[in-house]
Structure 1
Amino acid sequence: MTKDGDDVTSSGGHGGKPALHPVYSVTNIFNKVRMLDGVKITCSAWVKLFTLHAKGYKVSHHIDGTRPPTAADPKYAEWCEIDAHVLQWIYGSISEDLLLRVLETNSTAYEAWTRIKNHFLNNKGARAAALEHEFTNMMLSKCSSLDEYCQKLKDIGNQLTDVGSAVDDQR
């Protein structure tokens, strides 16, 4: 493999057959990336996990905006096949609600990646205001324990960070 994730032929004992791309070794995306629901797993956490996964399996170029090969390129068919796997990872690691919002026919992994990120970033102001209200009005009496209360505040705080309105430690 090259550093860009391009397959190279292997030499030792494989008869010059192309090396199997690491993308084909993933059997269950949930062992690698948690389900993006926007509440428990925030967009920024999911992006970090997914990006790490993509880098490890040499497919980062499918989500970072790198242009695909042209249709005339001999590697185009292989690129399309690998992109379909990455797209399946993306669609398989988001909530059903989000999937229905971003699912499109004939999409590339990068296009789906961009739609998901835009979904969380497009309404930052309104989302931040709603989350601020929820954070400010969270009451211990509505939770079964102090741990639950603190966890809910942390979850809302993480969501606020995602929309650019981080909560400081004092709050």
Structure 2
Amino acid sequence: MGDKPESSTKQPAQTSLHIVYSVTDIQKKVCVLDGIKVTYSAWVKLFQLHARGYEVLYHITAQPPAKDGLAYEQWMKIDGIVLQWNYNTLSEDYLLRVLEAESTALEAWDRVKAIFLNNKGPRCAALQQKFINLILSAPPSLDVYCQTLRDLEAQLNDIGSPINEQILVLQLVHGI
């Protein structure tokens, strides 16, 4: 009978922070996109994997909620973090082409996508020319030569012009 009513012994509900706030250094998880060592398709896969794991994939796949209310404010805070991830994982050249003062993570994501997927024809022609003309004397070693061929293969694959293994081997032998 001397017990306190249950309502007075309950602690106030604590609001927990979204898991996205625990990320301290995105570059330890997602490599910097430079278009050569890290290709667009590899960067997309890593970035999406990371975004999914931290429950923010919708920030690069869906439009924001309506601009009224607490939900939008919360969404904007988290979107700002995802936008920072995007900017922090771009090389300086790409960052300068994508950076805008007022942007959502989705808008920045789409600007990066446009860099790599627009102008496919000229980009494809330039990469194929590099691939065909690469010879062993250009790179400093056989390892670098082979890696350069693989990098060009990955870049061509990114824009929808894959190189099959037979052509890769033929170019390897031809360049030697």
In the other structure, the counterpart of 2:127 is 131
**1:110 is matched by which residue type in structure 2?**
L
Equivalent residues in 2 for 1:21-170, closer than 5 Å: 21-64=18-61, 66-170=62-166
In the other structure, the counterpart of 1:6 is none
Instruction: Flag structure 1 segments of 5+ consecutive residues without an equivalent.
Output: 1-12
Q: Which has the larger radius of gyration?
A: 2
CA deviation digits over 1:25-51, x for unaligned, max 9? Answer: 000011110000111111111000000
Considering only aligned residues, what root-mean-square deviation do their CA atoms show, in Å? Answer: 1.3
Question: Could you tell me how far apart the structure 1 residues matched to 2:18 and 2:109 are?
Answer: 21
**2:113 is matched by which residue type in structure 1?**
K
Pair 1:14–1:68, CA change in 2 (3 A): farther
TM-score calculated relative to the size of structure 2: 0.87
Aligned-residue offset at 1:143: 2.0
Q: How many residues align?
A: 158
Where do 4+ consecutive residues of structure 1 move more than 4 Å? none
CA deviation digits over 1:44-71, x for unaligned, max 9? Answer: 110000000000000001001x232212
TM-score calculated relative to the size of structure 1: 0.89
The answer as to whether partners of 2:19 and 2:55 remain within 8 angstroms in 1 is yes
